[in-house]
Amino acid sequence: MPTISINLKEGTIEKPQEVIAGIDLGTTNSLVAFMKDGQPVCVQDSAGKSTLVPSVVHFSGIGDVTVGDAAKEMLETDPANTIYSVKRLMGKSFRDVAGMKGYFGYQIIDDDTESLVKIRVKDRFYTPLELSALILKELKRRVESELNMEVSRAVITVPAYFNDNQRQATRDAGKLAGLDVLRIVNEPTAAALAYGIGNASQADKTDVETVAVYDLGGGTFDISILRIEDGIFEVLSTNGDTFLGGDDLDHVLIEHILGQLHLDGSALHADKAFGQQIRLFAENAKKILSERDLFEGTLKEKPVVVTRADFERLIRPLIQRTLDCCQNAMRDAGFTVDDIEKVIMVGGSTRVPAVKQAVAAFFRRPVFDSLNPDEVVALGAAVQADILAGNQQDLLLLDITPLSLGIETVGGLMDVIIPRNSKIPTRAGRQYTTSVDGQKNLKVSIFQGERDLVEHNRKLGEFILRGIPPMPAGLPKIDIRFVLNADGILLVQAKELRSNLEQQIEIRPTYGISEEEMGMMLLDSIQNAQTDMTVRGLLEARNEANNIMLGGEKFLKQNGDILSEEEQATTNALLKRLREAAEGQDKDIIHAAIEDLNTYTTPLAHRALDKTVREAMQGKKVL
């Protein structure tokens, strides 16, 4: 597919001249890199001291937003308005993060629904996507300052285990930051590219390499087994733990330090500022103990002493958990350690000597760690960007789909199923349900484009899935699957899984869009990203409010006998307030009304559940 370059300032399409950035959007730190004189380099800060941008966002009382080192300094003094580790929340629902709220110093809104998680900062509600976009904007600003030119295209890396929702959220964050995201690349693939592994010009083009990428970052661990043949990278298996990383190494140190101070974990919850202070203190101790045998410091005017031997003893179970994941990944790939030819170390936490030694012993071979483990993924992203720019011919770039493909959902929103730049052939799917009780038919409308509302995209076709058995709203399970073959022919299938009812449509390639029209659609999506995000946020808030109002009305009707007149009146008043908010234009007011309603009715719902359980168990014995 020809590469299309967009000049955001002029609003024109032209032959590509600008740099394509490689971005590692990390849990703890983020980096941006580009190709310079044929080699990937990471952009340093203005002082030339560090390439790391802390993935931290701070909101001041007057509405100013800071990102990076300046924001990190506010973790101790203003933890409620300082957001960190947002990557852990990317593409997650409220239920996914139910056990995580105690980890964060800021407020995560959890109403026990399947809606995407939101973070409350003062009277505003942000999604991880919006917060990630702020970090990406800072990375974009940094590379533009370094090059003294506009950078509008990028390759962004994600963990290999990221699902479709998380990958799409990363793409959308890039678009909101003013970036045309050409490719989402798996982090282990990027790491291998940074080391030049898979470059067919280096060796016999028939060589097949089997590589393990051990990635222990700030918030997550994953191990990936890659097969690389003639420049084609294939992830054979991946395993890991989304809640195991440098933060967890810090946590065991925190507990050890609390013991020396004769305190327990309750001190962290009682004083959020102290919680952030000791977290940063432990992080510093970890770094020092990775280079020396002894750490000495002062906290709460009391001395703290930790030896490297103490540290290694404390983290040994965590290291073993990573090795267990390595064993599982090799089992899934059908390999043993003897089949692994190279082991690449990625992530700042691999600087800990005990980690490096354990991994080398497990795989029975020296590890690849000559590149900075913090930078290796961003460097690989820059190499991938160079491939997309057509500057490297030895690595195979498979054909890709030029524009996103998806369907229309409630409110006229575009739900992307196959993102643009996905390699083809490919297939992807998602499950949907009905929005009305007893709904028998479901219209499936297929669209192509990059805007959040289908009215701004191009309609490719539609069909109706008829004869769905009448069921309450939300109960049917309808699997919609897109299959895009190597010729660009799209097959869309819809199947109701409970009744096996099925329908499909075939759409022919290219869809009649010229390269210029395609470029204008991409330009349009980037220029209107902020507006689209605002409209999408409002429509999603309204949809959530409507679902909650329906549930609230049913709850009152079914449980009026156990509610007092005051409880019924208060619930009705909160429902009325939510209804009025949903008719307005401010998503944050809607979210605030939802939160108030959920906070009040949650104890009532527990009471109703207890009653239902008692009635169900009446006259029965529990053995």
Q: What CATH code is carried by the domain that includes residue 563?
A: 1.20.1270.10
Instruction: Say which residues have a Cβ less than 8 Å from residue 279's Cβ, sequence separation at least 6.
Output: 75, 250, 254
The amino acid present at 595, given as its one-letter code, is: E
Give the separation between CA 415 and CA 412, rounded to whole angstroms.
9
DSSP-assigned beta bridge partners for residue 344: 213, 368
Which is catalytic among the residues 18, 24, 241, 248?
Answer: 24
Report residue 482's pLDDT band, with 50, 70 and 90 as the boundaries: very high
Largest alpha-carbon pair distance within the chain?
81
Highest mean pLDDT among 84-93, 120-129, 212-221, 333-342: 333-342
Is residue 287 domain-resident? yes
Give the separation between CA 532 and CA 89, rounded to whole angstroms.
22
Please state, rounded to an integer, the average pLDDT across all residues of the chain. 84
Question: Does 125 share its domain with 203?
Answer: no
Q: Are 140 and 177 in contact (CB under 8 A)?
A: yes
Question: Does 57 share its domain with 177?
Answer: yes
Q: Residue 3: is its pLDDT beyond 70?
A: no
Is residue 522 domain-resident? no
Would you state the pLDDT for residue 114? 55
Is residue 427 domain-resident? yes
Give the separation between CA 209 and CA 227, rounded to whole angstroms.
6
Would you state the pLDDT for residue 308? 94
Would you state the pLDDT for residue 295? 93
Report residue 619's pLDDT band, with 50, 70 and 90 as the boundaries: low
User: Which pTM value belongs to this model?
Assistant: 0.71
Q: Is 111 a catalytic residue?
A: no
3-state secondary structure of 384: helix
- Mean pLDDT of the region 486-512: 75
Would you state the pLDDT for residue 539? 85
Would you state the pLDDT for residue 33? 97
Question: Does 43 share its domain with 183?
Answer: yes
How many CA within 13 A on the CB side of residue 255? 9
Give the separation between CA 326 and CA 310, rounded to whole angstroms.
25
Question: Does 66 share its domain with 166?
Answer: yes
Give, in order, the Cα–Cα distances in Å from 334 to each of 57, 330, 338, 360: 42, 6, 12, 20
- Mean pLDDT of the region 21-35: 94
Measured in whole angstroms, the distance separating CA 468 from the mean position of its chain's CA atoms is 34
Question: Does 309 share its domain with 338?
Answer: yes
Lowest-confidence segment of 367-376, 450-459, 486-495 by average pLDDT: 486-495
Would you state the pLDDT for residue 453? 87
Report residue 18's pLDDT band, with 50, 70 and 90 as the boundaries: low
Element (H, E) at 599: helix 587-617
For 391, list phi and psi in degrees, rounded to 5.
Answer: -90, -5
Q: Answer with the one of 190, 224, 257 that is the final residue of a domain.
A: 190
Question: Does 510 share its domain with 560?
Answer: no
Report residue 228's pLDDT band, with 50, 70 and 90 as the boundaries: confident
Calculate what percentage of the chain has a pLDDT beyond 70: 85
DSSP code at position 245: S
Which is catalytic among the residues 110, 215, 248, 369?
Answer: 215
Question: Does 542 share its domain with 487?
Answer: no
- Mean pLDDT of the region 291-307: 90
Is residue 523 domain-resident? no
Which is catalytic among the residues 76, 78, 87, 118?
Answer: 87
Is residue 351 domain-resident? yes
Q: Residue 327: is its pLDDT beyond 50?
A: yes
Give the separation between CA 562 and CA 557, rounded to whole angstroms.
11
Question: Does 109 share its domain with 37?
Answer: yes
Q: Residue 623: is its pLDDT beyond 60?
A: no
Q: Residue 25: is its pLDDT beyond 80?
A: yes
For 228, list phi and psi in degrees, rounded to 5.
Answer: -120, 115
pLDDT in tens, 381-394: 999 888 887 776 55
Which is catalytic among the residues 18, 78, 187, 222?
Answer: 187
Q: Is 215 a catalytic residue?
A: yes
Show the tokens assigned to 378.
Answer: 């961003």
Show the tokens assigned to 415.
Answer: 């739900």
Report residue 2's pLDDT band, with 50, 70 and 90 as the boundaries: very low
Q: Is 187 a catalytic residue?
A: yes
Q: Answer with the one of 345, 370, 395 that is the final residue of a domain.
A: 370
Q: Residue 313: is its pLDDT beyond 70?
A: yes
Question: Does 186 share its domain with 208?
Answer: no
Is residue 359 domain-resident? yes
pLDDT in tens, 105-119: 777 876 555 567 888
Instruction: Tell me which residue range forms the domain holding 430.
Output: 405-514
Lowest-confidence segment of 144-148, 229-233, 405-409, 424-428 by average pLDDT: 229-233
Count of structural domains within the chain? 4
- Comparing 490 with 7, which gets the higher pLDDT? 490
Question: Does 302 share its domain with 320?
Answer: yes
Question: Does 535 share its domain with 473?
Answer: no
Is residue 394 domain-resident? no
Q: What CATH code is carried by the domain that includes residue 494?
A: 2.60.34.10
Is residue 385 domain-resident? no
Q: What CATH code is carried by the domain that includes residue 47?
A: 3.30.420.40
Element (H, E) at 22: strand 20-24
Question: Does 213 share its domain with 332?
Answer: yes
Would you state the pLDDT for residue 204? 47
As a dihedral over the C-alpha atoms of residue 75, residue 76, residue 81, residue 82, rounded to 10 degrees, the angle is 0
Q: Is 24 a catalytic residue?
A: yes
pLDDT in tens, 557-593: 888 888 888 999 999 999 999 999 999 999 899 999 9
Cis peptide upstream of residue 128 (ω within 30 degrees of 0): no
